[in-house]
Amino acid sequence: MIILLVDDEFPTRQQLQYVLEQLVPEAQFYQASNGDEALAMLSYITPDVVFLDINMPGKSGLETLGLIVDRPNPPLIVFATAYEKYALQAFELDAFDYVVKPFSKRRLESTVARIRQRVGEQKTLTQQKELIQKFLRESQQEKTPEKLWVEQPNNNRLLVEIEEIAYVESRNKQTYIHMRSGEEWLARYTLKELETRLEPQRFCRIHRAYLVNTHVIAELIPWFSGGYQVRLNTEAQVTLPVSRRHAQAVKSLFRQ
């Protein structure tokens, strides 16, 4: 059996492969970090199963899915998502499966049992293709993620609610997530990646070092030499600088 893992987070791919190697020891594994890389790999491998992340920067999981199922003899698709509510709503189809991050070995055992039963059944794969194409036609757009992976000081990973993020800071070549409560976490993304990944109507770039949740901006304050600052409605009442480059975009928020 050939299994392709598609996820933009390397630790997530490694964790998933580690568990699957115990459950499917005979399998060959391949990894791709984004949709384009996965599609390129399909030119020289023919996977039986693709574990596909829904929310990825660049080509999304749904866009990648549409291109995969259009190929002759498409593989079985299993979605890997951090958003169980979305998975239950969108993918409650008997023709394919989903697993929720962080991965449970017990849940993956169930998924592997379904994979072993269904791989090679042309009728099942054809039904899956039809159902996926129907779903993609009916889906107007992919939902924005509701949670984000961060790292604790002990290197354990944690899912935080995106709405509870006050701002994101780039500092000393690392990216930090600041919560409304005042907690600070390390994130394995660049500020630019998060600017793309997070909902643009909710998060606004105010400075080369800051991305702010617009829902927590309480006040725009004129500053020296025509500059501005924003005061955030957080526990610490944080004040952040607004660069001249981004001042117009920030001011437009107060005219809406």
Q: Which domains does the chain have, with CATH numbers?
A: 2-138 (3.40.50.2300), 151-253 (2.40.50.1020)
- DSSP for residue 1: -
pTM here is: 0.51
| pLDDT at residue number 55 | 78
| pLDDT at residue number 65 | 81
SS3 117: helix
Q: In what order do the strands lie in the sheet with 49-53?
A: 28-32, 2-6, 49-53, 76-81, 97-100
Stretches in the chain below the pLDDT threshold 50: 86, 88-90, 92-95, 140-142
Short-list 20, 29, 17, CA closest to 113: 20
| pLDDT at residue number 176 | 94
| pLDDT at residue number 89 | 45
| pLDDT at residue number 211 | 93
**Which string of b and e fits 193-205 if b means at least 16 CB within 10 Å?**
ebbebbeeeebbb
Phi-psi region of 182 (alpha: psi -120 to 50; beta: other; left: phi over 0): left
| pLDDT at residue number 95 | 40
| pLDDT at residue number 92 | 46
Between CA 39 and CA 181 the distance in angstroms is: 41
Structure tokens at 113: 């049992």
| pLDDT at residue number 248 | 83
| pLDDT at residue number 90 | 44
Between CA 147 and CA 47 the distance in angstroms is: 30
| pLDDT at residue number 119 | 73
Using only C-alpha atoms, the chain has a radius of gyration, in whole angstroms, of: 21
Residue 151 near residue 160 (C-beta atoms within 8 A) = no
